Structure 1
């Protein structure tokens, strides 16, 4: 006697029940190119963090070379943050454009005046 149920049998049972009920199997929420919303969110977070890290790195490196420690660090931290936000917004626009493209029906032979 097994104490745990067989996952394959449970999956098959769920499929049969869904078919009998007439409801389609629930699907994962997908966005651009089949990525889930969580994956897109992580991409945006990584883009923002990368911009900040590069800005801080460049600013600190210049400050060490020139000898003006807080000046370039502060300036390039802000520049890195702005670059990260800009990249993140570009990703958001790309995802939104792909979703709008997927939702619009194709224009095939409908009332094309001429």
Structure 2
């Protein structure tokens, strides 16, 4: 009977060396997940695009409902998620809310995956 040779397991000393980059903290992971979750909706992506494209640098919620064909409460909900994710800021003027991009937020968002 021909038996196969028994091979000793190879030990790779490098497998146990800790990585040079620190892992995400729970708080960092939560913040990044909020941004990714906010961007995961097509209506929210469109809202970001619409606010960014506005020549005045800001958009009133009243101007954002028509192009999306959504009601004001739904658009306001989407905008709140974008504000909570740190992508937009909100300024209340009378009965209307105006939204603008947080300076550097899109650039920071573009680099999120690079920091993993």
Global fold match (TM > 0.5):
no
Rg (Cα) greater in structure: 1
What's the TM-score once normalised by structure 1's chain length?
0.29
Going by fraction, where is strand more abundant, 1 or 2?
A: 2
What's the TM-score once normalised by structure 2's chain length?
0.29
Going by fraction, where is helix more abundant, 1 or 2?
A: 1
